[in-house]
Amino acid sequence: MRYRTGLLLALSVLALAAGPAAAQTLYKSEHYRLQLVTVAKGLEHPWSLAFLPGGRMLVTERPGRLRIVGRDGTLSPPVAGVPRVYARGQGGLLDVILDTDFAANRVIYLSYSEPGDGGGGTAIARAVLKDNALSKLKVIFRQVPKSDGGRHFGSRLVIARDGTLFATVGERGERKRAQDPRVNRGQVVRIHRDGRIPKDNPFVGKAGYRPEIWSYGHRNPQGAALHPTTGKLWTVEHGARGGDEINIPRPGRNYGWPVISYGRHYWGGKIGEGTHKAGMEQPVHYWDPSIAPSGMAFYTGDKYPRWKGNVFIGALRFQLLSRLVLKGEKVIKEERLFDELGERIRDVRQGPDGYLYMLTDSGEGAVLRIEPVAP
């Protein structure tokens, strides 16, 4: 009897000790109660993630490392063969995506700030991933020219339905050059996956324009995704003090920076000529004050049925995930999630399992999975 009493007491103490530690913070949204599950941690300023077949994922760390995250959350040693990066300010190893034929060819694409004459510039490389190393690395795009400083590299990559590759390029803090199509500043560019220029790009053969340009007049687009129904490219870009924008970049169009903007300079001064000008496009949506957007994903899964068709955008300044409800190409509602977390959200992606995943941008960054909790 004494033995049974002691055993029951010990089990009760263990249960009390384990209870609070096992408790999960719940976050309320309009439609769901949510929990955040830590998939991996200990990442240094993670910037992008891509899902590998079999449940693993690739994660970039801005200082210049590429990691493979195991199904159990363990981090591989840095993948060998990653190109040297210009790790200054916002620069470093940035986006990563898989080729559409990855299962057969093992090709991935990396965007990064590349060092060279004049400083650094956005570059895109393709390489073959085998085990924990890259081989056959080839640079297929380089921002022209490079420049000093650590601002505004852009760098999101998206493969279009026709197989071409879109990439966003920031204006490197050189505002006026975003209106100069002779250089790569503040643009969406479109290339073939081997680096060739598509013949149907809008400025091919036009004097004074770089042929890789798809659209220009952008500031610093750090989110991009294809609309799941229309297949159109959507982007989200940083404004200055206000004026963060969502755009649907159309071929050959000018999106206005820095001639028009819904923001103001950081010191409070007026930007350009106002909010409208003939020949310059209007955003689909803008934020004022700025949320500092990074990462973008349309939700198409079944884990959160009432979110289907919504677009999700990470926010660095306000440290939250923005959920936008769309009607056609208009934003009709916004819900702000996870601001209690106190973490800069650098990227958001839908996984093959139908869950949304986020990256927190810090020296001890993490991969987080968003899970609904039954009422």
Annotated catalytic residues are 152
Q: Prior bond to 289 cis, omega within 30?
A: yes
> Cα–chain-centroid distance for residue 168?
11
Cβ atoms 114, 123 nearer than 8 A: yes
Q: Are 370 and 36 in contact (CB under 8 A)?
A: yes
- Whether residue 145 is preceded by a cis peptide bond, meaning omega within 30 degrees of 0, is yes
Q: What are phi and psi of 228, to 5 degrees?
A: -70, -20
270 alpha-carbon distance from chain centroid: 29
Q: What is the dihedral sign for C-alpha 81, 62, 146, 169?
A: positive
